[in-house]
Amino acid sequence: MDAFLKVAKPLLSTLMLIMLISNSPAALSLTLSSDINNDAYRNEIVSKVSEDLGLADTVLNTELKAFEERMNNNNEVSEIHECYSRILGALKNYENSNDNAGVELCRQLLSELSDPSQINQGQHNTCAVAALESYLCAKDPSLVCKTVIAAKSGEFTVSDGSKIQMPPENIAPDRDARCYRPNTPFRSYSSQLFQVAAVNAFWQTQTKDPRGVKVPKGSIMYMQDYCVGRCFPGDTSERLFIRWSADVTEFIVTEGFFPCSGPCLQAPAIDQAYRLLGGDVAEPVVLVNKRRHVGRSVEEFAKEQDLAAILLRVKNSAAFPAIVSVSLSSKTFCPTPRLALAQNAVRKPGPEKWHVVCINSYDEKTGSVSVDNFWGPYSDLKAERSIPLSELYVSTCPQS
């Protein structure tokens, strides 16, 4: 009986997936056979993307095989099927509507699934949701596909039943996305959609704004590229605003006299955004130094030894990447003048600024930590650029 179940279970799973695809109006009609496998999905995707965009299929084919290998190593074969079926369905829709941007979206999405280190925040203050995106690409890639494809439609539903509206101005590729190439600091179109969607999923379900002011649920919206150029020093053209009525809109000001230029998300919001988007595989490990007194929806540590123990536990349970909050005033993560200009992360008077990165690995023998930053490939601290745990710990402490 056990032997029968071992054979029957994957066959039943494949049959259920075929039924799902064949009943979906957005799905492609595949040639069904008893030996359908990932090769059929991969070949179909490579063929369509290459034909529509006029690209060589060698690179994409290699990327998809890398994605499959990573998922197979994590015993997540079902994730491969679900990702491919969602993307194939989306490709069919985009082809029918001659939406080349949509086809390019699928191509970029597949590239980031194969290598989450390509995920960037670009010239936006979206490190918290970039970290969530990176985590999900590693642990629940089908949720990234679902979110990105739904966000492009302009509206999607989150786990509490709320309907989230995407800002119409942020559905088409922005300046970063139009300049995107792999291994550059620019943010891809797929990351643009995920990050804007994740921020709005959080704020459109809140009943208090960042200042603690009570607001109607669904009245807060986050928008990027509100204006061309900068309206004030450090402006990234991001805005968080409240729609009090059809005629009254308030830009949220959290400090000083200027509107906040960012999503105003703290580390604890990452877990809530994860749940709202439908995450149910494994909660992300979000680490915050206890001296910051955050204390909710995060795992705190007081000493370097505590951080080491947490990372060793995460390593042994194969739960990397872990997400950690670091200070922009620290030596390790203080932007250089050149990078500060690109990221608009210039230090200025006021409360200490914080950043979020992902820890991808920890070597307890050497005490080194591999860090994925979201300012581009040259800001990543991995391989020969890995940093000592002690240096990471110092960067998590308040610097003032």
> What's the pLDDT score for residue 263?
94
| Percent above pLDDT 70 for the chain | 86
Residue 14 has pLDDT above 80, yes or no: no
pLDDT digits (tens, 9 = 90+) for 223-241: 998 876 677 777 888 999 9
Using 50, 70 and 90 to split pLDDT, how confident is the model at 1?
very low
More reliable by pLDDT, 51 or 68: 68
Per-residue confidence band for 71, with pLDDT thresholds at 50, 70 and 90: confident
Is 344 a residue whose pLDDT tops 80? Answer: no
Query: What domain range is 333 assigned to?
Result: 283-396
Top mean pLDDT of 28-37, 74-83, 347-356 is at 74-83
- CA-wise closest residue to 190 among 160, 253, 147, 140: 147
Averaged pLDDT, 92-109:
92
Residue 197 within a domain: no
Please report whether residue 144 resides in a domain: no
In what side-by-side order are the strands of the sheet with 249-251? 220-223, 239-243, 249-251
CA 159 to CA 33: how far, in whole Å? 35
* 242 part of a folded domain: no
In-domain check, residue 173: no
The predicted pLDDT at position 33 comes to: 32
Confirm whether 320 is domain-assigned: yes
**Residue of 312 and 337 predicted with greater confidence:** 312
Residue 106 or residue 232, greater confidence: 106
Burial class (CB in 10 A: 0-12, 13-18, 19+), 214: exposed
User: Given 76, 92, 114, which residue is the final one in a domain?
Assistant: 114
Number of folded domains in the chain?
A: 2
Between these two residues, 260 and 307, which has the higher pLDDT value? 307
Least confident of 66-75, 121-130, 187-196: 66-75
- The yes-or-no verdict on residue 161 having pLDDT over 50 is yes
Q: What's the rounded Cα separation, in Å, for the pair 197 and 202? A: 9
Q: How far is the C-alpha of 356 from the C-alpha of 287, rounded, in Å?
A: 10
Rounded distance between C-alpha atoms, residue 238 and residue 222, angstroms: 7
Classify 280 as helix, strand or coil: coil
What per-residue confidence (pLDDT) applies to 53?
79
Residue 15 within a domain: yes
- Cα 214–Cα 220–Cα 224 angle in degrees, nearest 5: 145
Put simply, whether the predicted model's pTM sits higher than 0.85 gets the answer yes
**Three-state secondary structure string covering 207-222:** CECCCCCECCCCCEEE
Query: Is residue 28 one of the residues assigned to a domain?
Result: yes
What is the spatial distance between Cα 104 and Cα 102, in angstroms, rounded to a whole number?
5
Question: Would you say residue 169 lies in a domain?
Answer: no
Burial class from Cβ neighbours inside 10 Å (0-12, 13-18, 19+) for residue 338 reads: exposed
pLDDT, the chain, mean: 85
Query: Does 159 score more than 90 pLDDT?
Result: yes
Residue 4 confidence (pLDDT): 42
State mean pLDDT over 283-293: 91
Tokens standing for 148?
């990105």
With bands split at pLDDT 50, 70 and 90, how would you rate the model's confidence at 283? confident
Q: Which has more confidence, 337 or 115? A: 115
**pLDDT band per the 50, 70, 90 thresholds, residue 23:** very low
Which of 54, 89, 114 is a domain's end point? 114
CA gap 125, 393 in Å, rounded = 23
Nearest residue to 281 via CA among 109, 75, 110: 75
**pLDDT tier, 265 (very low <50, low <70, confident <90, very high otherwise):** very high
Please give the helix or strand (H or E) that residue 19 lies within, else none.
helix 2-23
Percent of the chain whose predicted confidence (pLDDT) is above 90: 61
Q: What secondary structure does DSSP assign to 308-335, as a single string? A: HHHHHHHHHTT---EEEEEETTSTTTSP
Residue 191 pLDDT more than 80? yes
Question: Which of 51-55, 116-120, 295-299, 351-355 is predicted least confidently?
Answer: 51-55
Give the residue from 56, 84, 114 where a domain finishes. Answer: 114
| Residue 8: both structure tokens together | 């029957």
Sheet containing strand 368-372, edge to edge, reads: 299-301, 286-289, 322-327, 354-363, 368-372, 387-388
Q: ω into residue 167 within 30 of 0, thus cis?
A: no
> What's the pLDDT score for residue 229?
67
**Which residues pair with residue 358 across a beta bridge?**
323, 372
